[in-house]
Structure 1
Amino acid sequence: MKKAIFLVLTVFSLIDLSIAQRKINADYRLHIKEISDPITIDGVMDEETWLQAEVATDFYMIIPMDTSYSSVRTDVRMAYDDKHIYILVENFHALDGPYMVESLRRDFSFGKNDNFIFFMDPFDDQLNGFSFGANAAGAQWDGIMFNGGQIDLSWDNKWISKVTNYDDRWVFEAAIPFKSIRYKGGITEWGINFSRMDLKTTEKSGWAPVPRQFPSASLAYTGVLVWDTPPPSPGPNVSVIPYALGGMNQNVQEGQAAEFRNAFGMDAKIGLSSSMNLDLTVNPDFSQVEVDRQVTNLDRFELFFPERRQFFLENGDIFGNFGYETIRPFFSRRVGLDAPILGGARLSGRINKDWRVGAMSMQTAAVPENNLGGQNYSVISLQRRVFSRSNIGAILVNRQSAPFEPGTGESKTFSEYNRNFGMEFNYASSNNLWTGKAFMLNSFSPVQGHGMVYASNLRYSSGNLTWNWRHEYVSDNYTAEVGFVPRTGFYKASPSVGYLFFPKSKKILSHGPEVNVNLFYDTGWELTDNESFLVYSVRFRSQSNLFIWGAYDYIKLQQPFDPTNFSGDLLESGTEHQWYSLGGEFRSKPQSLFTYSFSGRVGGYFADGERYNSVGEIGYRIQPYFGMTMSANYNEIHLPEPWSVTSFWLIGPRIDLTLTNTFFITTFVQYNEQIKNINLNARLQWRFAPASDIFLVLTDNYLPAPFYTKDRSVALKFTYWWNL
């Protein structure tokens, strides 16, 4: 094992040393100076500061081609004072016609809106940063950046902006407080890039050029923001975010009376330095978070749903991105899953340009009626930057049960403790063509004993060719009670290769095949799964997409399994199943007010059965105020007795009403025949001040037939972001 890890590290280091270490777009430099007169955020360029500011212009096209300047003109100016960073952007029209947006909702879909977004790398390490922007109707976008170009849009912070529309352009102006971001004091160069999406021309462009195989958010290709003096210190940086909540819960199905509740709590954000933050929470409540969208589950293993709670999001990658998507030693949604959170603290940020640290401890209450004692969840993570854009990290995760005397039996969910320790190497070459990861994990539990994981991958992405090799090992007794590891006891090999053609066509942007293979073996090296598929994709210049695929599946069940996840009848462990299937998908262009997508599959299934699936979604919008979508998913499964023919629907209409960019009403209904449930969720949000909200949330669950209410809840919540 040690030899394998040494070999992986050697390969990564040789690749990195073979590539020039100088920042790729270091010659793209924008100078930012202190304001000469006060700036009013109104989307009007009438201040002297903007007339004197240096202009970033002559953007490069990223798509459809990355070999020329964009036909769409974009001019960017930046300035600052002792409290804010200011930006003003003129987004000129290249073609006549109205702008195209989905709505005024915050954190819009990038590819479905005329928008401008910029990416800041305040440590100039090309790995982590912040993203801000707006669409042409004024809806805000903000997110925290990690892994060199990924963005978590669940992160919200305090800043202001305004969009003003003119006949020939739309203007975006914003003020971002230094207190809302993290940066290293004393340095005068930040990484930065600007991205423009113009749906009338279907062009995506960037100030510093980015190859089309990478997102415009790729921090490896940022230019340089040059400060005339080091950015000012944010000064005392303490924010208190109290909340008050009132509501009602009623379990109608159990015949219970309505239970009224009220709650008070508080979060606090304390800036220990410009790059280090301490978050505190007391009696948190997350009732305003949107419920998870339901899915049809025909999988043998647990499904993943992302974290949406604000407290866990800033610098969340240092905790939650350790490992792979199905091997996570820490998954914050485990915290508070079975019991209310009493409080917690989280320290995260940078010690300097090379070192990042994260430490978190959360305490939950005991739930005697479930024989569940209080739990403490703690995690410590440390990262050290190496090479140009890589890092080595370590993580320690601990869940500890408080002393507890259950009424009957033992604790319902947890052993006395569960601990995980791991180390990880994340690799990214300076030009982002090569990326990879290698990690090891060890678990310790009084019930399962000692377990381990090791895994690694190496990926290459050029303009045409993409390939990846990945392998994993998870021992039978590995446990991560605070993580997400739906499957244990296997070896896995996952090679993939794809190639894209870029024809000289007025309608097709790119097309090409991709082959993926996932091979699972048990710990005795007997093949248990072979998931192989070939997909051919076509991307049109209009931004519509077509996918056609074929797949082969072989599965030797390691546990009994109900192939419908519906009937309760099980296939026996050890039985073998194989089949072929075909499918396709088409998504229409996002510029139209009426949009649609559909997909389908036909082919075999478990027990020599057959599965037919069709999925469709239609949408219509009256921009920017109203949007409605209707999605439907139908499955029909043909199996021998005792299952016979099983069919079920998942239907989900959704309505979005965005009267302004601070007032939103979202309503959706989910009819899930597989679990015999109808869910209604209506959510009103009024952002009456930056990062301060009033929420009204109604959630009902119904039994489809005979139709009656199973449970109901109503919550009214007030939050206010108060800077001390």
Structure 2
Amino acid sequence: MKIFVFFLSACFSFTAGASDLLKSKSDSTINTYNKDFIYNVKKAKSVINVDGIVDEADWMAAQKADKFYRVLPIDTGYAYQQSTVLITYDEKAFYLAFIFNDTVEGKRIMESFRRDFLFNNNDNFLSFFDTFRDQTNGFTFGLSASGAKWDGVMHSGAGSNLNWDCKWESKVKHYDDKWTAEMRIPFKSIRYPSDSQIWNVNFSRLDLKTNEKSAWAPVPRQFPTSSLAYAGVMKFEEPLPKSKMMYSLIPYVFGSYANDYEAGTGAIYKKDFGFDAKIGISSSMNLDLTYNPDFAQVEVDQQVANIDRFELFYPEKRQFFLENSDLFADFGAHSATPFFSRRIGLDAPVLAGARLSGKIGNDWRIGFMNMTTEKTSDHLSRNFTVASVQKKVFARSNFGFIFVNKEYINEPSDTSMFNRVFGFDYNLACKNNFWSGKFYYHRSFQPDSPDKQYSQGASINYSSKHFQAKLYQRSVGENYNAETGYVTRTGYNHFSPEVTYLFVPNKKIVSHGIKIESDRYYDMDYHEIDHENSFSYQFEFENRSTLSLGYIDYFVELQNDFDPTHKGEHYLPAGTGYNYGGSVIKYNSTRKTMFNWQAEAAKGTFYSGDIQYVQGEIGYRFQPYVNLSMNFNYTDMDLGDPYERTQFLLVGPKVDITFTDKIFWSTFVQYNEQIENLNINSRFQWRYQPVSDIYLVYTDNYFTGNWNGRNRAIVLKMTYWLN
């Protein structure tokens, strides 16, 4: 822990010494692409009552952000149903009100009351705030027509991590010809520079009845409305109040029952406590602490049928790892990243951890994480340390360094057990977002120091309304080892060009066009070991449904023995090569109707035989209270001798009931014949205070066929947010 104490002390000193650097850019040039879209925020002269009724005098005096531009289905002209957004502020919070005209017949689409709703399944309003004006990071807040909240931290210029939550208030009201809302967001819930007076901002509306997405500051249709490169400007009448030291303590208590029938453990009862804490070291630097964390309430992963040779990727959902997560998780490439937070705490309980992240000055960001896991029967106690630094350059680009250290604690004295990675990344992002790219070089360090421990990659992307082109390159040495990362394979060189051309006729078919992509893998001597060439034609219709028809050609020279069925009975031997391919069709229905569905079907050859499969999801909602859905996969493969014909089914029905905006219950059943398991996960949540919850989670697993129990667990957890 010495490295942790030293680094933390240094960061406190650096942050204090850099306080003069962390100033608003009020006097500097405004360089956002939509710099002429300016919203002037007047200070409130009276109290704003957050009731959804936009009738206060301050709203009457506020500037109107109206005349929203269409983004989809086409990005020309104004939206058919117009919107108005109003903003004001006081010493403690800023307020938003909006008025959405709605005179088109039919129900307003509102999936449920659940927080962080699915964007495409709801009529909704979203706002995006670039408080540091780096056009890369920010905060997003929004509401669906049901009043469900949306909040998250923004990263990478447009992405949003919605697992982040903070305290704020809102209320929605419905009328025959419109719906309105008010929002109150405390300044202490977000971070911004000292003496801040100018932010970048944009507002977005999705109106499913007219199939239109629109924005206040116009955004080209090929980009999401969250693209901070296209945000407008928001000027406060006076500098914002100086940020006070923010802190919050989230203690929790939990009790559980578990029984692993396979291992014969018998009933195990457990009760314990822990806490999370957030401390705002400065207006832009946050320290997260956790002791004895329990993540039982985190939503269960959706299972998928696995016919691939490599490890499946599941996203991080645990709150502790989320704020400024790009400082840790966005290094390298998706399939060769040096840090993947799910490596911590899923195979052994976490004892404690600390996480420091944020900005120093206008252009520097730092991240530091230190966590220790307990010793178990399968693993020694381990300590994980991650440190990163990022510097903004040019309009929106940046370069960064990362260091990852995994070290075993109390290991045998005659061994040295560690794994380390050091890396450099340069991320290119031009002012108008048309060009983007990346270059990185990483190296691992491990006992005995073998050679070829590198991972290197580069990419360049171009995106316009009609034409998109991408080129990826990656090389990973055979001894590169990032144990705390996500690395699907090593010892290869990879090249991948991709080209898309779209026609946008603005008719019943909104856009259509061709997409050609090639993924090619070579060994270290540039002998081809893999390729995947795909050709598809894509359609987007007026109601926002999509259709894709294509063909994929594969070649694989196996580097290791492989069983495509994952049964472990027979293997295709390493060194053998296979050419195969097939046709694929994909369809996504419109989301404006109560019933919606998506499906993908494929048929063709597969390794030494044939395959056909169909997968997708169907859903029906009784809005806004009940949402029924079911994902499915049926796979049928016949690989020839010595394999028997293999057929397996995966079905995942889910019931999601939102009784109110504070009481939720969901049950997810996953029947998976490939792994011979039936999983039941049922979760009840009562948000009895803002961001304070009581959870009751029940999990059960059974063998398919004989239906004998595998394991069972029940957890009761209570959290309370103090700040």
CA contact (8 A) 2:366 2:390 kept: yes
SS at match of 1:101: coil
Q: Which amino acid aligns with 2:406?
A: R
Matched with 1:273 is: 282
SS at match of 2:150: strand
Are residue 492 (structure 1) and residue 494 (structure 2) matched?
yes
Matched with 1:85 is: 94
Cα distance, 1:255 vs structure 2: 3.3
CA contact (8 A) 1:71 1:94 kept: no
Matched with 2:248 is: 239
Cα distance, 1:669 vs structure 2: 0.5
SS at match of 1:693: strand
TM-score, normalization by structure 1: 0.94
Cα 1:504–1:76 shift into 2, 3 Å? closer
Matched with 1:32 is: 41
Please show how residues 60-209 of structure 1 align to structure 2 within 5 Å.
60-209=69-218
CA contact (8 A) 1:276 1:348 kept: yes
Cα distance, 1:567 vs structure 2: 4.2
Matched with 1:287 is: 296
CA-to-aligned-CA distance 1:474-521 (integer Å, 9 cap, x gap): 00000001100111000000001000001141x111010101100000
State the distance in 1 between where 2:420 and 2:683 align.
38
Matched with 2:21 is: none
Match of 1:480 among 482, 485, 504: 482
SS at match of 1:472: strand
Please show how residues 375-414 of structure 1 align to structure 2 within 5 Å.
375-405=382-412
State the distance in 2 between where 1:448 and 1:291 align.
39
CA contact (8 A) 2:629 2:653 kept: yes
Please show how residues 244-643 of structure 1 align to structure 2 within 5 Å.
244-367=253-376, 369-370=377-378, 372-405=379-412, 416-446=417-447, 449-450=450-451, 451-505=453-507, 507-607=508-608, 609-643=609-643
Cα 1:448–1:645 shift into 2, 3 Å? farther
Q: Which amino acid aligns with 1:275?
A: S
* Runs of 4+ with deviation above 6 angstroms: none
Unaligned runs of 5+ in 2: 1-28
CA contact (8 A) 2:110 2:121 kept: yes
Cα distance, 1:556 vs structure 2: 0.2
CA-to-aligned-CA distance 1:227-284 (integer Å, 9 cap, x gap): 1122212313110000010110111233332111111001110011111111111111
Q: Which amino acid aligns with 1:166?
A: Y
SS at match of 1:323: coil
Matched with 1:714 is: 714
**Between 445-454 and 104-113, the greater mean CA deviation after superposition:** 445-454
Matched with 1:7 is: none
SS at match of 2:327: helix
Cα 1:113–1:349 shift into 2, 3 Å? same
CA contact (8 A) 1:21 1:430 kept: no
Match of 2:67 among 58, 76, 90: 58
CA contact (8 A) 1:448 1:479 kept: no
TM-score, normalization by structure 2: 0.94
State the distance in 2 between where 1:156 and 1:566 align.
41
Cα distance, 1:170 vs structure 2: 1.0
Cα distance, 1:597 vs structure 2: 2.1
Cα distance, 1:564 vs structure 2: 1.0
**Between 376-385 and 46-55, the greater mean CA deviation after superposition:** 46-55
Q: Which amino acid aligns with 1:393?
A: G
CA contact (8 A) 1:521 1:528 kept: yes
Matched with 1:644 is: 644
**Between 486-495 and 38-47, the greater mean CA deviation after superposition:** 38-47
SS at match of 2:624: coil
State the distance in 1 between where 2:676 and 2:563 align.
17
State the distance in 1 between where 2:571 and 2:242 align.
63
CA contact (8 A) 2:399 2:425 kept: yes
CA contact (8 A) 2:32 2:135 kept: no
Please show how residues 654-693 of structure 1 align to structure 2 within 5 Å.
654-693=654-693
State the distance in 1 between where 2:448 and 2:675 align.
33
CA contact (8 A) 1:119 1:129 kept: yes
Cα RMSD for the two superposed structures: 1.4
CA contact (8 A) 1:130 1:143 kept: yes
CA contact (8 A) 2:194 2:243 kept: no
Matched with 2:695 is: 695
- Percent same amino acid at aligned positions? 45
The alignment of Structure 1 onto Structure 2 pairs a total of residues equal to 694
State the distance in 1 between where 2:569 and 2:241 align.
63
CA-to-aligned-CA distance 1:172-203 (integer Å, 9 cap, x gap): 21111112111111232111000000011011
CA-to-aligned-CA distance 1:74-130 (integer Å, 9 cap, x gap): 111111112211111111104132211211111111111100000000011111001
SS at match of 2:486: coil
Q: Which amino acid aligns with 2:493?
A: Y
Cα distance, 1:139 vs structure 2: 0.6
Cα distance, 1:583 vs structure 2: 1.0
Cα 1:487–1:448 shift into 2, 3 Å? farther
Matched with 2:16 is: none
Matched with 1:8 is: none
SS at match of 2:503: coil
CA-to-aligned-CA distance 1:294-330 (integer Å, 9 cap, x gap): 1101110111101010000000111011111111101
State the distance in 2 between where 1:603 and 1:227 align.
60
CA contact (8 A) 1:448 1:477 kept: no
State the distance in 2 between where 1:458 and 1:231 align.
39
SS at match of 2:706: coil
SS at match of 1:660: coil
Cα distance, 1:459 vs structure 2: 0.4
SS at match of 1:722: coil
